[in-house]
């Protein structure tokens, strides 16, 4: 075991799979020589050469298209879209090609492609560096979507994603890149500031996609969250003094419906938290699933705590974010209903 930040854990995952499998390669803007803008690919070009870790032009469509061709040919590319906000030019390639090739070819071809994207807010990145577009991917049949919240999960899930034979969207919450925080606004926000990190195995291990984890056990209500919002939900439960069970979904598609049902059946109440905008957000899908599977267990309406339906603000970032007071109020509301 070694103490790692999420950045270090992701780097360790890439190093581990590239050492085990010569078909794995990684590329993107500034990924090679510079080691990525967040240093996730640091030293990989030195270790594995410029044919397996290299830089590309500023062309997300081209990055995705080339990677899809490599994957169909039998390689296992891991591409980095420098910020999730930059993925829109590549969206057509991911949706129209990567997600459909297995079905369009009747199973003759697969696309073992992993698309890494730093995503979400919390570092004052502004409108074009802070978006949370997970719902755009979870809507697409043929894509899997993963969002880790801890360094340990980041390494295990990234290895599983790379080894998966279908395309995986791997969203990395920038707010916890350098270690966990206490979920509150007054915590340090600079992405380059070191926070307490987690113990992560240095050797190979993987976490199966589609398996949630219980971040906090409780009996009073269930809170469904992922990524940065797991930490905020934990802070909210502590501040509100409510015996809430916090479920870290980890994988959005496929989602661990068994874990969700088991928790909501136990508590009878459900609060859903995500930082993306509310309308048509992934929380709406979660609410529908809870309604369909847990209707007779529910003691109160399902509550959602989300980002607002506005363009992402800069100076007012922490007012936009779901925060412990907002989540605490939602928990109290479902408890009192």
**List of E strands, 129-286:** 144-146, 168-173, 198-200, 213-216, 221-225, 244-248, 251-253, 270-277
| Closest to 79 (Cα-Cα) out of 100, 60, 93, 103 | 60
| pLDDT tens series, the chain, 337 aa | 999 999 999 999 999 999 999 999 999 999 999 999 999 999 999 999 999 999 999 999 999 999 999 999 999 999 999 999 999 999 999 999 999 999 999 999 999 999 999 999 887 787 888 899 999 999 999 999 999 999 999 999 999 999 999 999 999 999 999 876 777 765 544 443 344 468 999 999 999 999 999 999 999 999 999 999 999 999 999 999 999 999 999 999 999 999 999 999 999 999 999 999 999 999 999 999 999 999 999 999 999 999 999 887 777 888 888 999 999 999 999 999 8
Indicate the CATH number for domain 2-200: 3.40.50.970
Note the residue count of the chain: 337
| CATH T-level fold of 213-336 | Rossmann fold (3.40.50)
| pTM for this model (two decimals) | 0.95
Using a 10 angstrom Cβ sphere, with 0-12 exposed, 13-18 middle and 19 or more buried, the burial of residue 172 is buried
Beta bridge mates, 192: none
Per annotation, catalytic residue among 103, 129, 195, 231: 129
Which H or E run includes 70?
helix 60-73
CB 84 within 8 A of CB 113: no
| Cα–Cα distance for residue pair 251/34, rounded to 1 Å | 30
CB 317 within 8 A of CB 124: yes
DSSP symbol at 97:
I
Active site residue 103: no
User: What are the extents of the domains in the chain?
Assistant: 2-200, 213-336
């Amino acid at each position: 075991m070694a103490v790692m930040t999420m950045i270090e854990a992701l780097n360790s995952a890439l190093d581990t799979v590239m050492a085990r499998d010569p078909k794995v390669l990684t590329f993107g803007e500034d990924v090679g020589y510079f080691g990525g803008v967040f240093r996730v690919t640091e030293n990989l070009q030195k270790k594995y050469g410029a044919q397996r870790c290299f830089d590309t032009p500023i062309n997300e469509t081209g990055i995705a298209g080339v990677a899809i061709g490599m994957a169909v040919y039998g390689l296992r590319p891991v591409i980095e879209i420098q910020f999730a906000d930059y993925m829109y030019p590549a969206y057509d390639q991911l949706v129209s090609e990567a997600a459909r090739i297995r079905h369009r070819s009747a199973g003759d071809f697969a696309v073992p492609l992993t698309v890494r994207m730093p995503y979400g807010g919390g570092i004052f990145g502004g409108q074009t560096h802070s978006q949370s577009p997970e719902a755009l991917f979870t809507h697409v049949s043929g894509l899997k979507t993963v969002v880790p919240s801890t360094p340990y999960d980041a390494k295990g899930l990234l290895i599983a994603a790379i080894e998966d034979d279908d395309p995986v969207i791997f969203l990395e919450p920038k707010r916890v890149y350098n270690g966990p925080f206490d979920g509150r606004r007054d915590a340090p926000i600079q992405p380059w500031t070191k926070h307490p990190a987690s113990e992560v195995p240095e050797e190979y291990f993987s976490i199966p996609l589609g398996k949630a984890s219980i971040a906090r056990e409780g009996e009073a209500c269930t809170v469904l969250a992922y990524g940065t919002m797991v930490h905020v939900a934990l802070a909210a439960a502590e501040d509100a003094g409510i015996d809430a069970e916090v479920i870290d979904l980890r994988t959005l598609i496929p989602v661990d419906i068994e874990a969700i049902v088991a928790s909501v059946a136990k508590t009878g109440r459900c609060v859903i938290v995500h930082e993306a905008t509310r309308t048509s957000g992934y929380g709406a899908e979660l609410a529908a699933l809870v309604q369909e599977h847990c209707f007779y267990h529910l003691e109160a309406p399902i509550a959602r705590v989300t980002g607002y339906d506005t363009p992402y603000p800069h100076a007012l970032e922490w007012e936009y974010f779901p925060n412990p007071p907002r989540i605490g109020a939602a928990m109290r509301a479902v408890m009192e209903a």
